[in-house]
Amino acid sequence: MSEISASQSATQDNTPITVLGLGHIGLPTALGLAELGRQVIGADDDARKVGLIRGGDPTFYEPGLAELLAKHLKSGKFQPVDDVAAAVRAGSIIFICVGTPQKANGQADLGQVEAVAQVVARNLNGYKLLVEKSTVPAITAQWLKRTIVRYNSGKASPGPGSAPVAGTIAFDVASNPEFLREGKALEDFLHPNRIVCGVESEHARDLLVNLYSPLKCPVVITNTSTAELIKHAANAFLSMKISFINMVSDLCEKVGADVSAVARGIGLDNRIGPQFLDAGIGYGGYCFPKDLRAFIHLAEEHGVDFSLLQEVEHINQSRVEMFVGKVRQAIWNLRGKTLGVLGLAFKAGTDDIREAVSLKIIETLREEGSILRLYDPQAIPNTQRVIPASEQISYCTSAYEVAQGAHALLLLTEWEEFRQLDLARLRGAMEVPVLVDGRNLYDPEAVHKAGFEYFSVGRGESKPAGTHTTTGTAVK
């Protein structure tokens, strides 16, 4: 492994770039590359999606994405197409951003990745660098290489050195994992902490370093398996941090401690760091749950006992019952009670509800016979597709509407809009002023002052005596 600065790169080239897959990773990546000044072809075999993107609709909510899409459709630097084979032929650097969903056993399903490799093999009309962006298990790059050689009828010649053997066409495979957070995808693309390039030839290394040369951050150069592992290890470690603080929060409740202050107290240690220490209802989303399971599966496959990660997952799954238990503790029986739900998206800044803990909580409360009034600033259309309105479920247009006649309000997503709510107005609309906060969004004192009975996570119901808040508050 070596580390170099992106600015040490050789001359910027104008190699056309193809991005395969225009979802939550592919579209921000394609537009980010266009923003770096490159000519980008974005391909997806979903013609309807491509049509919408061409018309300026990103097809999902991500802050700043619609604006950047408009900008680069106009500049001509981004060209969305539905002919994947033609897009492969046109590009020299090809980013794989297709889905890697999970199989029933937790293993990553690499069917779409293999399909892309086959298309590349059949359209290898000159040197190409095939780059994995999607999260894939270690040694996938080796499978990509084999697949390209196999489906190219022996005419393809893989690195090292990317020099073609007589009569063959050279190609390289690289791993350049994405670390984009939904809701902050463009910020993360344009201002990364680091860029990881797993390569097998100097040529591939130079192409990637050149590509990212406008970005000022450390570039970690390594082999492909190491780069693949870095991605899984990063997500597993962050998931572990969340499950850790969630267990600490349970303990805080038992001994009268405040988990926000504990997180601050440990997070100020540089070796620990302050991020990903927010206790709450647990992690969700398309990446953490799926990637953790795939990593556990990979360890099992190779005979490595990584039961630590099984426990991380187990703790996370238990957060649904933890939260529902809090609601019971707050209002006693759930059947027939009207509950206002603030937040459906798996986190703020997105309309994504995949593996959202909020939906699991709603499902449990529905089964218990509660009447649920739901609101989210962005995620209602996606939620309506999986939880249709019914006698028990209704959708509202604002937090204040949700509060009408409710026996309790449940805060499940930490949207800034919810932080700014007029608590007295909310309270006035409710049947019973109970607030159960699954994200520790509010200052307990302010909520009490507004006349609520307040239940949060790992903080007790009021500020512990003697908490000193001169630099950074002990509660949010």
Question: Which residues are the active-site residues?
Answer: 287
Question: Judged by CB under 6 A, does residue 192 bind ligand UDX?
Answer: no
Identify which of residues 224 and 243 has a Cβ nearer to ligand UDX in the complex.
243
Determine the interface stretch with ligand UDX among 111-119, 178-186, 358-366, 452-460 (rule: CB under 6 A): 178-186
Question: Judged by CB under 6 A, does residue 349 bind ligand UDX?
Answer: no
Question: Judged by CB under 6 A, does residue 276 bind ligand UDX?
Answer: yes
Determine the interface stretch with ligand UDX among 90-98, 279-287, 295-303, 327-335 (rule: CB under 6 A): 279-287
* List 283, 295, 323, 418, residue binding ligand UDX (CB under 6 A): 283
Distance CA 185, CA 192 (A): 10
Determine the interface stretch with ligand UDX among 62-70, 92-100, 276-284, 373-381 (rule: CB under 6 A): 276-284
Identify which of residues 78 and 283 has a Cβ nearer to ligand UDX in the complex.
283
Identify which of residues 60 and 276 has a Cβ nearer to ligand UDX in the complex.
276
With a CB cutoff of 8 Å and minimum separation 6, the contacts of 198 are 141, 174, 175, 176, 222, 223, 224, 225, 226, 227, 228, 230
Compute the least distance from the CB of residue 346 to ligand UDX, in Å: 5
Question: Judged by CB under 6 A, does residue 189 bind ligand UDX?
Answer: no
Nearest to 290 by CA among 111, 98, 105: 105
Question: Judged by CB under 6 A, does residue 287 bind ligand UDX?
Answer: yes
Compute the least distance from the CB of residue 246 to ligand UDX, in Å: 8
For residue 400, the SS3 value is: helix
The burial of 86, by beta-carbon neighbours within 10 Å (0-12 exposed, 13-18 middle, 19 or more buried), is given as: middle
Question: Judged by CB under 6 A, does residue 32 bind ligand UDX?
Answer: no
| Dihedral (Cα; 136, 138, 142, 146), 10-degree rounding | -50
Distance CA 172, CA 338 (A): 59
Determine the interface stretch with ligand UDX among 75-83, 104-112, 219-227, 278-286 (rule: CB under 6 A): 278-286
Bridging pattern class, strands 338-342 and 371-375? parallel
Compute the least distance from the CB of residue 439 to ligand UDX, in Å: 8
With a CB cutoff of 8 Å and minimum separation 6, the contacts of 276 are 238, 241, 242, 245
Compute the least distance from the CB of residue 342 to ligand UDX, in Å: 14
Question: Judged by CB under 6 A, does residue 179 bind ligand UDX?
Answer: yes
Bridging pattern class, strands 218-222 and 2-5? antiparallel
* List 84, 242, 365, 426, residue binding ligand UDX (CB under 6 A): 242
Contact 284, 399 (CB under 8 A): no
Identify which of residues 416 and 422 has a Cβ nearer to ligand UDX in the complex.
416
Bridge partner residues of 157 (DSSP):
170
Distance CA 428, CA 433 (A): 8
Nearest to 393 by CA among 408, 372, 376, 407: 372
Bridge partner residues of 5 (DSSP):
218
Identify which of residues 179 and 452 has a Cβ nearer to ligand UDX in the complex.
179
Identify which of residues 187 and 206 has a Cβ nearer to ligand UDX in the complex.
187
Size of the site for ligand UDX (CB under 6 A): 19
Question: Judged by CB under 6 A, does residue 277 bind ligand UDX?
Answer: yes
Determine the interface stretch with ligand UDX among 36-44, 60-68, 173-181, 380-388 (rule: CB under 6 A): 173-181
Question: Judged by CB under 6 A, does residue 95 bind ligand UDX?
Answer: no
Binding track, positions 128-147, relative to ligand UDX; x by CB under 6 A:
--------------------
Half-sphere exposure of 154 (CA within 13 A, CB side): 1
Nearest to 237 by CA among 200, 211, 275: 275
Residue 117: both structure tokens together: 């490799």
> How many other CB atoms are there within 10 angstroms of residue 207's CB atom?
25
Distance CA 200, CA 202 (A): 7
Determine the interface stretch with ligand UDX among 54-62, 174-182, 358-366, 457-465 (rule: CB under 6 A): 174-182
Question: Judged by CB under 6 A, does residue 455 bind ligand UDX?
Answer: no
| Dihedral (Cα; 106, 112, 118, 122), 10-degree rounding | -170
Residue type at position 331: I
Question: Judged by CB under 6 A, does residue 351 bind ligand UDX?
Answer: no
* List 347, 354, 360, 373, residue binding ligand UDX (CB under 6 A): 347
> Between residue 288 and residue 317, which ones bind ligand UDX under the rule CB under 6 A?
288
Identify which of residues 45 and 182 has a Cβ nearer to ligand UDX in the complex.
182
* List 284, 340, 343, 444, residue binding ligand UDX (CB under 6 A): 284
Distance CA 417, CA 348 (A): 10
β strands within 227-284, DSSP E: none
* List 42, 91, 158, 285, residue binding ligand UDX (CB under 6 A): 285
Residue type at position 188: D
Identify which of residues 82 and 178 has a Cβ nearer to ligand UDX in the complex.
178
Residues in the chain: 476
Contact 133, 97 (CB under 8 A): yes
Distance CA 259, CA 296 (A): 28
Residues in contact with ligand UDX by the rule CB under 6 A: 178-182, 235, 238, 242, 276-278, 280, 283-285, 287-288, 346-347
